[in-house]
């Protein structure tokens, strides 16, 4: 009994002293690491992240943590300022380019007649006038060091101008210089040995800096990883090790990417070891997060780098796969070891949380959009209405949307697509994430009141932040509008090849990047990636809807499935459905809410692989089979 009372008293004292200074801080930001790329959430059996599990055992893992943007630089600017991209104007990762732009504007070059809205120009440098985390902590007596990627501008906009005593390797680019494995191409930063891995080296540099810290001086280590951004290479031994573990039925099957995740996790372990060996674990806050979701559009080892399943989309998209990120906070005396939280947080929240709890004043004239998440860290509910994601661009990646802004409020998510509706009105996508984490069912038409309620929050955020927003394109030409291309990645920098002759099999033709043939009374679709699909041809006008499309299919590819119906093809007439790409037979039913049909197209995957279809059936509102195809 006495032991229990003593334990309770010590716990209370620990919590009471949680904000007492000094506290060291390690802020680790991975680059392009997806929510499903770690073992934290039970969605990978291929990647190995034991050191992240080790960190999680010391603190709190957040299941609903979001980056401020689906791309890197905007999120990084938000972490350092506590502001959203709508306010600070950094909305795209253009900070390595030659043009210096400190204010956002409407992009007059985005008058493509096929686009309904004009994009915005992103800020291209983080203005040194901002009271960044580095500046405020240094002013308060902290030793400050930045290690790894920056991508917020070269000098005079580098970490050295934002409050950091040291910046290694002082590289302004968007990713590793040339390679993860030496020889690399950093200016004035040589490898210690042949084939040295840059993440090993960054961890080594950070640890050497930590060892030189004075015991009576708190420190802030800003460790922004190069991992796991392109270029895609890794230690050869690790690649071969993971190659032997590849399951071709698993959507995560790139041994190179798995090796990259492994080295990233090793770096986390190196930092944890150093903190323990220095005897400062109980006085050091460690935060781990990512700047955006996993990369789903590059190609490595004949597949996409990773899969964000069960989330939809990935890096550069407004869907969950682009913005939901793995996050751990280990705060001695505050977070319960091994705890988890479902509270809604965003990467910009670390700005007010750290500064408030470390008793460092935020300048009165600096507006902060983020909130102090200390209640959530203590295991309590967080009093927050919503978070916002602003991305006013047209990225050429799978599942892309035109310029958009999203709000998360409770279990609801609304995406406003600027001026994509009729006569310049906005278009909307509404999802209930608790019931539909894969964002397969757009509820906007069914729930107009909820759309209006959440859109008012969006409008309030735009007004409050004075955001520069997309405007209707005065040169929009409906004849050149191609809504069926929304969500379909553009193919760039490749010579055009003559279009292959379309082969009709059983009433279907292959298009996009797929080919078809009949195999053992089945339609075999071979996809080379990007956007494989098949179209029913010829297809007469059919009445009697709404309809249900039924398909028996198996696949070893990856990505969401979709069905387009009626001419002209439209993103509003594109029900999506989750597909199990496990190489086994499955039957799918896709509702088609239309009284009649004059076009039918099936997109069975996004990535490379083979899809087999045994039969396709179209059923009317009475359950009658009105059209069927067998092969």
For 278-287, the pLDDT digits (tens) are 999 999 999 9
Under the banding of pLDDT at 50, 70 and 90, the label for residue 497 is: low
Q: What is the signed CA dihedral for 35, 39, 43, 46, rounded to 10 degrees?
A: 110
HSE, side-chain direction, 13 A CA sphere, residue 51? 16
Q: What is the mean pLDDT of the chain?
A: 91
Residue 242 phi/psi, 5-degree rounding, is -75, -25
Tell me what pLDDT residue 14 has.
46
Q: What is the CATH number of domain 2-87+128-380?
A: 3.40.720.10
Nearest residue to 253 (alpha-carbon basis) of 543, 545, 556, 475: 556
Task: Write the CA distances from 28 to 115, 161, 326, 486, integer angstroms.
Answer: 38, 20, 11, 34
> CA 458 to CA 578: how far, in whole Å?
29
Q: Write the secondary structure of 66-132 as one string of H (helix), E (strand) and C (coil).
A: ECCCCCHHHHHHHHHHCCCHHHHCCCCCCCCCCCCCCCCEECCCCCCCCCCEECEECCCCCCCCCCC
Given a cut of 60, is residue 306 above it in pLDDT?
Answer: yes
Tell me what pLDDT residue 18 has.
46
> CA 402 to CA 415: how far, in whole Å?
11
Under the banding of pLDDT at 50, 70 and 90, the label for residue 574 is: confident
Nearest residue to 258 (alpha-carbon basis) of 560, 534, 24, 37: 37
Given a cut of 90, is residue 51 above it in pLDDT?
Answer: yes
Averaged over 444-460, what is the pLDDT? 98
CATH topology of domain 504-630: Jelly Rolls (2.60.120)
Count other C-beta atoms under 10 Å from residue 53's C-beta: 16
Tokens of 33: 């690491």
Residue 550 phi/psi, 5-degree rounding, is -115, 135
Tokens of 6: 């003593």
User: Percent of the chain scored above 90 by pLDDT?
Assistant: 76
> CA 145 to CA 138: how far, in whole Å?
10
Under the banding of pLDDT at 50, 70 and 90, the label for residue 8 is: very low
> CA 34 to CA 169: how far, in whole Å?
25
Tell me what pLDDT residue 183 has.
93
Q: Per-domain residue ranges for the chain? A: 2-87+128-380, 504-630
> Model's pTM, two decimal places?
0.81
Given a cut of 90, is residue 85 above it in pLDDT?
Answer: yes
> CA 493 to CA 388: how far, in whole Å?
34
Q: Write the secondary structure of 530-580 as one string of H (helix), E (strand) and C (coil).
A: CCCEEEECCCCCEECCCEEEEEEEEECCCCCEEEEECCCCCHHHCCEECCC
Under the banding of pLDDT at 50, 70 and 90, the label for residue 540 is: confident
Under the banding of pLDDT at 50, 70 and 90, the label for residue 572 is: low
Given a cut of 90, is residue 510 above it in pLDDT?
Answer: no
For 542-552, the pLDDT digits (tens) are 888 899 999 99
Tokens of 90: 């950094």
Helix axes 72-81, 350-357, angle to 10 degrees: 20
- Count of positions (residues) in the chain: 631
Residue 249 phi/psi, 5-degree rounding, is -85, -15
Query: Taken in order 36, 40, 41, 45, is the CA torsion positive or negative?
Result: positive
Given a cut of 70, is residue 5 above it in pLDDT?
Answer: no
Tell me what pLDDT residue 352 has.
98
Q: Alpha carbon 465 to chain centroid distance?
A: 23
Tell me what pLDDT residue 142 has.
97
| 621 contact partners, CB below 8 Å, separation of at least 6 | 544, 545, 546, 547
Averaged over 458-462, what is the pLDDT? 98
Nearest residue to 512 (alpha-carbon basis) of 579, 607, 424, 622: 607
| 53 contact partners, CB below 8 Å, separation of at least 6 | 39, 40
> CA 293 to CA 305: how far, in whole Å?
12
For 463-493, the pLDDT digits (tens) are 999 999 999 999 999 999 988 889 888 655 5
| Long-range CB contacts (within 8 A, 24+) of 127-131 | 127/102, 127/157, 128/156, 128/157, 128/161, 128/162, 130/80, 130/81, 130/88, 130/162, 130/366, 131/81, 131/362, 131/363, 131/366
> CA 76 to CA 418: how far, in whole Å?
25
Tell me what pLDDT residue 58 has.
98
**In CATH terms, are 2-87+128-380 and 504-630 the same topology?**
no
Under the banding of pLDDT at 50, 70 and 90, the label for residue 571 is: low
Under the banding of pLDDT at 50, 70 and 90, the label for residue 1 is: very low
Q: What is the largest CA-CA distance in the chain?
A: 83
Tell me what pLDDT residue 492 has.
52
Averaged over 38-61, what is the pLDDT? 97
Tell me what pLDDT residue 495 has.
52
Nearest residue to 82 (alpha-carbon basis) of 368, 386, 465, 354: 368
> CA 56 to CA 34: how far, in whole Å?
17
Tell me what pLDDT residue 6 has.
44
Given a cut of 70, is residue 171 above it in pLDDT?
Answer: yes
Given a cut of 60, is residue 401 above it in pLDDT?
Answer: yes
Tokens of 537: 């041809």
Averaged over 510-538, what is the pLDDT? 83
Collapsing DSSP to helix, strand or coil, 528 comes out as: strand
213 or 623: whose pLDDT is higher? 213
Tell me what pLDDT residue 580 has.
87
Tell me what pLDDT residue 238 has.
97
Tell me what pLDDT residue 576 has.
79
Given a cut of 60, is residue 379 above it in pLDDT?
Answer: yes
> CA 482 to CA 542: how far, in whole Å?
24
């Amino acid at each position: 009994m006495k032991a229990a009372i003593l334990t309770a008293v010590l716990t209370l004292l620990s919590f009471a002293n949680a904000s007492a200074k000094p506290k060291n801080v390690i802020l680790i930001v991975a680059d392009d690491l997806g929510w499903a790329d770690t073992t934290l959430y039970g969605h990978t059996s291929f990647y190995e992240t034991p050191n992240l599990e080790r960190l999680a055992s010391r603190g709190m893992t957040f299941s609903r943590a979001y980056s401020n943007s689906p791309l890197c630089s905007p999120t990084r600017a938000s972490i350092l300022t506590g502001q959203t991209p709508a306010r600070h104007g950094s909305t795209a990762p253009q900070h390595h380019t030659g043009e210096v732009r400190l204010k956002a504007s409407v992009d007059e070059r985005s008058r493509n007649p096929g686009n309904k809205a004009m994009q915005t120009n992103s800020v291209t440098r983080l203005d040194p006038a901002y009271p960044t985390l580095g500046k405020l902590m240094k002013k308060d007596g902290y030793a400050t060091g930045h290690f790894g990627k920056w991508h917020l501008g070269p000098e005079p906009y580098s970490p050295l101008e934002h409050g950091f005593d040291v910046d290694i390797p002082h590289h302004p680019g968007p990713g590793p210089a040339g390679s993860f494995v030496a020889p690399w191409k950093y200016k004035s930063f040589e490898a210690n040995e042949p084939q040295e891995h840059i993440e090993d080296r960054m961890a080594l540099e950070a640890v050497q800096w930590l060892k030189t810290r004075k015991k009576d001086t708190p420190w802030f280590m800003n460790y922004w990883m190069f991992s796991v951004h392109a270029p895609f290479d890794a230690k050869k031994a690790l690649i071969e090790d993971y190659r032997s573990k590849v399951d071709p039925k698993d959507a995560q099957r790139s041994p190179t990417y798995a090796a990259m995740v492994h080295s990233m996790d090793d770096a986390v372990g190196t930092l944890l070891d150093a903190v323990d060996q220095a005897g400062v674990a109980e006085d050091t806050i460690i935060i781990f997060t990512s700047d955006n979701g996993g990369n789903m559009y590059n190609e490595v080892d004949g597949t996409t780098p990773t899969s964000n399943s069960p989330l939809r989309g990935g890096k550069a998209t407004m869907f969950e796969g682009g913005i939901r990120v793995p996050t751990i906070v280990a705060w001695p005396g505050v977070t319960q070891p091994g705890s988890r939280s479902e509270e809604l947080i965003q990467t910009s929240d670390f700005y007010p949380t750290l500064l408030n709890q470390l008793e460092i004043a935020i300048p009165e004239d600096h507006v902060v959009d983020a909130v102090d998440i200390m209640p959530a860290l203590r295991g309590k509910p967080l009093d927050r209405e919503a978070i916002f994601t602003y991305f006013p661009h047209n990225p050429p990646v799978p599942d892309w949307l035109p310029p958009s802004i999203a709000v998360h409020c409770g279990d609801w998510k609304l995406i406003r697509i600027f001026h994509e509706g009729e006569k310049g009105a906005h278009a909307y996508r509404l999802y209930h994430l608790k019931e539909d984490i894969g964002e397969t069912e757009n509820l906007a038409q069914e729930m107009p009141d909820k759309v209006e309620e959440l859109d008012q929050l969006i409008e309030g955020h735009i007004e409050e932040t004075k955001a520069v927003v997309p405007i209707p394109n005065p040169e929009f030409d409906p004849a050149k509008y191609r809504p069926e291309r929304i969500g379909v990645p553009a193919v760039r920098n490749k010579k055009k090849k003559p279009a292959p002759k379309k082969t009709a099999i059983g009433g279907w033709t292959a298009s996009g990047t797929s080919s078809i043939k009949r195999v053992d009374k089945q339609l075999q679709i071979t996809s080379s990636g990007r956007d494989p699909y098949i179209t029913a041809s010829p297809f007469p006008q059919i009445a009697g809807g709404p309809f249900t499309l039924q398909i028996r299919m198996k696949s070893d590819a990856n990505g969401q499935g979709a069905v387009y119906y009626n001419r002209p093809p439209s993103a509003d007439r594109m029900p999506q459905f989750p597909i199990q790409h496990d190489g086994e037979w499955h039957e799918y039913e896709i509702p088609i809410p239309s009284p009649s049909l004059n076009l039918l197209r099936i997109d069975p995957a996004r990535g490379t692989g083979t899809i087999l279809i045994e039969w396709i059936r179209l059923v009317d509102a009475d359950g009658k089979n009105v059209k069927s195809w067998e092969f």
